[in-house]
Amino acid sequence: MTPPAAFATAPAGFEHEALFYRDDETFLAGVLPFVRDGLTRGEQVVVAEPPGRLELLRDAVGAAAPVRWLDMAALGGNPARIIGAWRTVLDETTAAGRGLRGVGEPAWPGRRDAEYAECRLHELLLNTAFDDGPAWRLLCPYDQTHLPRAVRTGALQSHPLVSTHEHRRPSTAFSRESAAATFATPLHQPSEGVLRGIYGAGDARATRRTVVTFARSCGLSAEQAQALELAASELVANSVRHGGGSGTVAMWRTDEAAIVEFSDGGHISDPLVGRRVPPPEQVSGRGLHLVNELCDLVQLRSCPRGTTVRITTWR
């Protein structure tokens, strides 16, 4: 048995650990020592938790402690935004010559299945994104009392290390290949009625308008419809420029969401596309990044047979 997270020595590389807790007490017992140890070492400590847990932890740590508190509900509403945020923090702390340790809970209880699916892919891709970079530690709390079994099992597969407030061990279920495999696995097809259309090079404007009309018919706000219009523009352009010249737009609605999906025959080999902030001078790769920032939930999957970007907007 290895000691719990807080008392481990400084990591050699990226250390990605799932912390399973049962209640507030075991949450604090697992996270507090990790945070305090980071502060003692002079590391930059960043905590990204949903509001309730954020307050619980802040009260326990003390408001005066030099911790950066991030609202995970805002940052991680679309989990594809989180890696970019960690990347920015890591670059800043590395440039300042400091260590970094983070706490991130993207898969909090009460999220929808599609969100949990993206949380799992996000957790897998964290390893892809940071494994070859500077050393830092990320502790990801999982509520083992309230989360669905599949989410808990997914956490075992996406984290090389798993722990409770008492124990810490390597995860036997973890596999480095899972990230690429999950990214290449098609999304579940909808059971609802789907509106479908094909677009080509000259159809960008018409496709934007179709999407806006659909968004309004679903009762989305003007702001939500505009974000989808912009997303449509970027994704149609991607299909035309990189996806074989044409694509398909599919639209359907559920009780809680309006969903717009763009598919084409192109293949994206880098699963981190859209999750990193492109440097200002870089022209390509901005569309997906912007879509990730603007939209409620974005699901990107790609394999040699084609690419799909599914955008969910909560009603």
Partner 1 sequence: MRAHGSVTEPPAAHSADHLCWVHDDDEPFGDAVRAFLAGGLVRGERLLCVGDRAIAALEDPSGSLGDVAALLAGGALETMTVAEVSAAAGALGADPQRAFYDAATRRALDDGYRGLRVVAEVTELAADPGLIEELVRWEHAADEFIASGSGMSAMCAYRGDLPPATLGAVLAVHPLRHGPDQLSPFRLFFDDDRLVLTGSVDTFSADRLATLLAGTPAGNTALLDLSGLEFIDVAGCRALAGWAGELQARCVPLEVRGASPLLQRVWHILGLHDVAPVTFTDPRG
Q: Which amino acid is at 155?
A: A
Give the torsion sign (CA, 294, 276, 73, 91): negative
Tell me whether residue 86 or residue 136 sits nearer to partner 1 (CB atom): 86
Place of tokens 């909090």: 108
CA angle 79/54/36 to nearest 5° reads: 110
Rounded CA separation 126/17 (Å): 11
User: Binder to partner 1 among 128, 286, 296, 303 (CB under 8 A)?
Assistant: 286
Tell me whether residue 50 or residue 274 sits nearer to partner 1 (CB atom): 274
CA angle 120/315/50 to nearest 5° reads: 45
Tokens of 282: 């870089």
User: Binder to partner 1 among 132, 255, 283, 305 (CB under 8 A)?
Assistant: 283
Cα-based distances in Å from 306 to 58, 190, 311: 45, 18, 17
296 scored as a contact of partner 1 (CB under 8 A):
no
Tell me whether residue 18 or residue 231 sits nearer to partner 1 (CB atom): 231
223 scored as a contact of partner 1 (CB under 8 A):
yes
Which strands sit side by side in the sheet containing 247-253, from one edge to the other?
Answer: 195-199, 247-253, 257-264, 306-314, 297-303
H helix or E strand, kind and range, residue 302? strand 297-303
Candidate ranges 2-10, 102-110, 143-151, 276-284; the one touching partner 1 (CB under 8 A): 276-284
User: Binder to partner 1 among 125, 140, 155, 227 (CB under 8 A)?
Assistant: 227
User: Binder to partner 1 among 60, 135, 187, 277 (CB under 8 A)?
Assistant: 277
Rounded CA separation 175/188 (Å): 23
- Residue pair 110/53 in contact by the 8 Å Cβ criterion: no
204 scored as a contact of partner 1 (CB under 8 A):
yes
229 scored as a contact of partner 1 (CB under 8 A):
yes
User: Binder to partner 1 among 39, 187, 230, 250 (CB under 8 A)?
Assistant: 230
In the complex, the smallest distance separating the C-beta of residue 34 from partner 1, rounded to whole angstroms, is 31
246 scored as a contact of partner 1 (CB under 8 A):
no
234 scored as a contact of partner 1 (CB under 8 A):
yes
In the complex, the smallest distance separating the C-beta of residue 187 from partner 1, rounded to whole angstroms, is 25
User: Binder to partner 1 among 144, 233, 299, 312 (CB under 8 A)?
Assistant: 233
Candidate ranges 61-69, 124-132, 178-186, 201-209; the one touching partner 1 (CB under 8 A): 201-209
215 scored as a contact of partner 1 (CB under 8 A):
no
Distance in angstroms between the alpha carbons of the first and the last residue of the chain: 47
290 scored as a contact of partner 1 (CB under 8 A):
yes
287 scored as a contact of partner 1 (CB under 8 A):
yes
Task: Cite the DSSP H helix spans in the chain.
Answer: 24-40, 51-61, 72-75, 82-95, 113-130, 149-158, 178-184, 204-217, 222-242, 286-294
In the complex, the smallest distance separating the C-beta of residue 229 from partner 1, rounded to whole angstroms, is 7
What does the binding site for partner 1 look like in residue numbers (CB under 8 A)? 201, 204-205, 208, 223, 226-227, 229-230, 233-234, 237, 241, 277, 280, 283, 286-287, 289-290, 293-294
